[in-house]
Every structure is written in structure tokens, then in C-alpha cells.
Amino acid sequence: MSSEAAKGQEAMKISDYPAAVKHYTAALKTLQSPVWLIQRSIALHRTGEYALSLEDADNALLASIGRQKRELIATSQFRRGVALHGLGRYGDARLCFLWCNKRNDKEKGLTMWMAKVKLDYEKAGGESAECNQTTVKEVPDMVEEAKKEKETTEKKTTAASVTPAAQTPTPKEKVRTEWYQSAATVTIEIFAKGVPKESAEVQIEESSLDVSFPIGAGSSYDYSLTPLFSKIDAAKSTFRITPHKIEIVLHKSHPGLKWSALEGTELAPSTAESESSSKVPAELLASKPTETAPVYPTSSRNGPKNWDKVIDDGAEESEGIDDFFKKLYGSADPDTKRAMMKSYQESGGTSLSTDWKDVKSKTFEISPPEGMEAKKWNS
């Protein structure tokens, strides 16, 4: 109920009829309710405004007929009769009460008013009296406020015919999906009515698809494919939301590849990873073949001889202590070389030092290994 109508109702309870008229008038600016018209008709009658009371009763009757409200039609006829009685039109009042009785013989106050109008009718002189003549129609001509109400209704009807009605959202358990593919694309359709475009979320990634939208109060529908059967071109992929479904078109990264399902079993590598791996030369990815020496026929019981191994073994045996010192000396810096030469020469080959700071001020003595004796050779 309108707040103004509620105030009007409270004013009626305390018999403040002018206030009731004021509040119902404000309420009727928003809606031509037959109930509010009837209430204002009552308030106007009790303030002595019989003509205005009749006008409201007529409008209430027209509004009630439009809504096919039988009880309100009867009440409106009753209020017409009461207003007409106030105007001294007893013949018309009598007819309105009869029409009310035909619709609802239990209308509150009807019996009393029918008796009252009968008495006044007879007092006025019966059928011959001018005030008892009948000119009223069972359905009144449309009065000004009723015309406005009709025009407003027609405008709303026209607007409704132009603007499509809001779709009732599909229940969550009845949402269904279908998909099909071509050589270049995969199309997914989610059949759900009334999906709000402003609230729906569709995220298309290279290897995944996520869809979410509200469906009913406090609930949402979620659809996820992770990973997809194969990589897609997310930049080219599109979606659109219609009143009946969400249509998603995924562009394949590998046109011509037939998808056997929407989801794969392993996450497809990203494009960056694929490009990185494609830059590695194939010859480096392949294992290097082992080079082997030719094998020659032999009558040996032990099979063919591996001459490469024989050569390698001989080389290892020939590398003695002298070769080690040569390598050490060759890679040393000048101070290390001086230290090695001084310590080796002064000790007669029995000592070797690489620390020049220690060697430069030190004299080395010949120190043969235990069990051996140093001898000087004559030149």
C-alpha cells in the first residue's frame, strides 16, 4: 500500500475526512486504484461533496470493471447510489442500489440504504416526481480521471509490447550445454534463459575456459574446462550472451586438429614454452653418436682387439712424474716458477716448493728419502 493511502486510511479511522481526501488524492496520482477511489468517495460524501463523491464512485466502477473485480463493482454501484441520494436523485440512487444488489446482496449497508431511498422516493411523489426520474447508466460514461487512467494503461501496454519481457532465469538443474566443432573452431553453447550480461563472467585462456553467472537468489552457475583438449587462440576467441543462451567460440591454435572431447588430460604447454623449445636445434636435442674404431677380422680366441684401448693404456703408462711437473711448471706464474727451480736445484731434486716468499730467503739441503744415500757425481 502507498504511504499516502495508509495515511488516508488512518485519517478515515479518526473521522478526519478532509485529511483523508488529501492523502487519497496524493495516492491516486500514482495509481487509479478502485479501492482508493471508493475510500475518497466516502470521505467526500461525509464532507458534503456529493458531486465529487459521485465522480469517484463512477471512476471506481470503471476501474473495477477493467479489473473484473465483482465485489468492487458492487461496492462502486453502492457508493454511486449513496452519492446520488445526497444529490436528491432518488430514482437514480434506487437503480444503483438494485445493480449493487444484483452483484452482491450482502453489501454492507445496502439493506438500510435501499429502505431509506424507497421512503424518500415515495415522499417525493413517486414516479411522477422529477427527482425520481432515471437518467443514470449502469456503466457510466468515462469521466476525466478514468480517461487518464486508460491512457496511462494504454501507454504501458504499448511500451510492454515494444520492450521484451524479462526472461525468467532457467533453474540451475535445467541448464544444459552442447558443443560442436569445425576445422578452425570449437563452439560451446550454454542454454540458460535470462543470464544478466552485466553480472556474467566469461574467462577464455589459452588452455582453459571459466564461465560464471548468477542464477536465482544467492546462487550461481559455474562452468569450467581445465585443461582444454588442445590450445586455443584466446585473442581470437569470442562469446555472446543472448536471452536464451551463452555462445562461446574458441579458435583452435592447431586448425584441422579434431577434438574428441572438450577437456584434455594434461595441461597443454603455453605458446611461449612451445616457441622456446622450437628454437633449440634438433641436432642438439639428439644424442651424439659414439664414435668407434673399425674392428678388423681376427683368429684370436679372445675376439677382436680394441686397438684404441691399447693406445690409451700405453699413453697413461708413459705419463710419469716428469710429465706432471712439466704441466705444473708450464702453467705457473713467474714467482712460482722461481720457487720451484730454486728448491729443486738446491735440494738436488729431493724437495719442491711453490711458495716464493718462503723459498727466496731459505737454503735447501739435500734430503734423500729414508733408506737412500745422497752421492755427488764427478764431472
pLDDT for residue 288 is more than 50 = no
pLDDT at 339 over 90: no
pLDDT of residue 98: 95
* CA–CA distance, 113 with 111 (Å, rounded to integer): 6
State the pLDDT at residue 187. Answer: 96
Angle subtended at Cα 9 by Cα 7 and Cα 12, rounded to the nearest 5 degrees: 110
Among 67-76, 268-277, 324-333, name the one with the lowest average pLDDT.
268-277
Q: How far apart are CA 29 and CA 40, in angstroms?
A: 13
Per residue in 220-270, pLDDT (tens digit) is: 888 989 899 999 999 999 999 999 999 999 999 999 999 999 998 765 555
Lowest-confidence region among 82-91, 129-138, 213-222: 213-222
- Mean pLDDT, rounded, for 337-347: 83
- pLDDT at residue 279 is higher than 50: no
Cβ within 8 Å of residue 41, ≥6 positions away: 53, 54, 56, 57, 60, 79, 83
- The whole-model pTM stands at 0.41
Query: What mean pLDDT value characterizes the chain?
Result: 80
**pLDDT confidence of residue 348:** 78
Q: How many CA atoms lie within 13 A of 363 on its CB side?
A: 1
Give the pLDDT confidence score for residue 318 in this predicted structure.
Answer: 45
CA 302 to each of CA 261, 299, 305, 366: distance values in angstroms, whole numbers, following the listed order = 61, 9, 8, 51
90 pLDDT higher than 60: yes
Strands 185-191, 245-252: pairing is antiparallel
pLDDT value for 215: 82
Mean pLDDT confidence for 350-368: 81
Which element (helix H / strand E) includes 221?
A: strand 220-225
pLDDT at position 181:
94
Q: What is the mean pLDDT of residues 357-364?
A: 83
Angle between helices 34-46 and 3-13 (to 10 degrees): 40
pLDDT, tens digit, for every residue of 159-199?
545 445 566 888 888 999 999 999 999 999 999 998 888 87
> For residue 280, what pLDDT is reported?
44
Pairing assessment for the beta strands 220-225 and 185-191 based on DSSP bridges: unpaired
Q: Which pLDDT does position 165 carry in this prediction?
A: 55
How far lies 221's CA from each of 138, 192, 200, in Å?
56, 10, 10
Kindly give, in sequence order, each residue whose CB lies less than 8 Å from that of residue 35, ignoring residues fewer than 6 positions away.
72
What's the pLDDT band for 201 if we cut at 50, 70, 90?
confident
Amino acid 267: pLDDT: 54
Question: Is a pLDDT exceeding 90 seen at residue 149?
Answer: no
Other CB atoms within a 10 A radius of the CB of residue 83 amount to 27
DSSP 60-106: HHHHHHHHT-HHHHHHHHHHHHHHHHHTT-HHHHHHHHHHHHHH-TT
pLDDT on residue 281? 47
E strand or H helix that includes residue 341: helix 334-346
| 3-state secondary structure string across 119-147 | HHHHHCCHHHCHHHCCCCCCCCCCCHHHH
